[in-house]
Amino acid sequence: MASRRRIVVLNPNTNASTTAAMVALARQACGANFEVDGRTAPFGSSFIIDQQELETSATAVSEMAAQIAAERPRETGLIVAAFGDPGLEDARRSFAGPVVGIGEAGLLAGAFGGRPFSIVTSTAGLGSRIEKMADNLGLADQLRSVRQTPSHPSQLIGKPERLFAELLLAARQAVSLDGAQTIVIGGGPLARFAKDIELELGVPAIDPVSAAVKKLIYQWSDGQAMQPCPRM
C-alpha cells in the first residue's frame, strides 16, 4: 500500500503551542489523504516581530529542512509557517520536495482574480518585508495597505479576545478606508482568526496556513511551482 503524502509545518518560532495550532489548521485544509505533522524551531524567538528575529528564524528553518530531508524526503512537502517566509529560498534549494511559505501563499490567495487586498497583522516591524514580498510577486498594485494592531505583540500574548478585536478593527479599516476586497491575515499564529473576521466583515479573509496547504497540493497535482490556487 502506497504511503500518504506528508506535509510538515515548519514553525520558525520556538512556541510549540503555536506549532500545534498551525498543524491543526493544516489538517483541516488538506483532509485525510495527507499526513501532517509539525516541527518547532530549536532556537530563536517565541514570536517573530522584527527583521533581526526573522533572520535568526531563517537559519532554524534551514536546519529543520535539512533534518527532514535526511528522514524521508520522497512524497514530502514543507510549509514555512511564518508570514515573512524566513529561509524559504534556502529550503527550496536544499529540499527535493515542494516548499511553500505562508506569506507567499497568503498574498497570492488574497490577490487571486485581480482583487485589491490588505494585510492585517500584529507585527509592525515586518511591514516593509511584507510590502517587498508583494512587490516581488508582482502584486504591489493590488496591495492596498498593511495594517497593524494598535498594541505591540507583547501586550497581546495570552489575550486572544483583545487580539481578535484589534485585528478586526484593522481589517475593518482596510475595507472601509483602503478599499480592500480581501483581507489576508499576516501571521501563522493569527491564522485561526480568519473565519471569524470573514463572518464579521462579509469579505473573504485568508488564513495563510490553509492557503499554503492548498498551494502545496496544487503543486503536487500539476507541478506548477508559482501559480496561485483557487480559493476553496
For strands 99-101 and 117-121, give the pairing: unpaired
The reply to whether 5-102+209-222 and 104-208 are identical in fold is yes
Q: In 74-103, which positions are buried (b, 16+ CB within 10 angstroms) versus exposed (e)? A: eebbbbbbbbbbbbbebbbeebebbbbbbb
**Contact by Cβ (8 Å): 90, 62:** yes
What average pLDDT does this structure show over 158-182? 95
Tell me which architecture the domain covering 104-208 has in CATH: 3-Layer(aba) Sandwich (3.40)
Least Cα distance to 47 among 129, 107, 122, 134 occurs for: 122
Alpha-carbon span 197 to 167, nearest angstrom: 8
Residue where the block lists cell 495527507: 34
| Most trustworthy range by pLDDT among 139-143, 158-162, 188-192 | 139-143
Alpha-carbon span 148 to 145, nearest angstrom: 10
Percent of the chain topping pLDDT 70: 93
Per-residue pLDDT tens over the stretch 41-91: 999 988 887 788 888 999 999 999 999 988 866 789 999 999 999 999 999
Cα 95 versus chain centre, distance: 19
Residue where the block lists cell 503536487: 220
Domain ranges of the chain: 5-102+209-222, 104-208
**Contact by Cβ (8 Å): 15, 46:** yes
Question: What pLDDT does 73 receive?
Answer: 66
Alpha-carbon span 167 to 149, nearest angstrom: 6
Alpha-carbon span 60 to 105, nearest angstrom: 20
Distances (CA, A) of 126 to 83, 134, 154, 184: 9, 13, 15, 15
Does 100 have pLDDT greater than 60? yes
Alpha-carbon span 72 to 58, nearest angstrom: 22
Span of 56-65, 204-213, 219-228 with lowest mean pLDDT: 219-228
Question: What pLDDT does 54 receive?
Answer: 85
Question: What pLDDT does 157 receive?
Answer: 80
Residue 43: left (phi > 0), alpha (psi -120 to 50), or beta? Answer: beta
Q: What crossing angle do the helices spanning 102-111 and 208-222 adopt, rounded to 10°? A: 90
Options 3.10.150.10, 3.40.50.12500, 3.40.50.960, 3.30.450.20; CATH of 5-102+209-222: 3.40.50.12500
Question: What pLDDT does 17 receive?
Answer: 93
Q: What is the DSSP letter of 230?
A: P
Does 116 have pLDDT greater than 80? yes
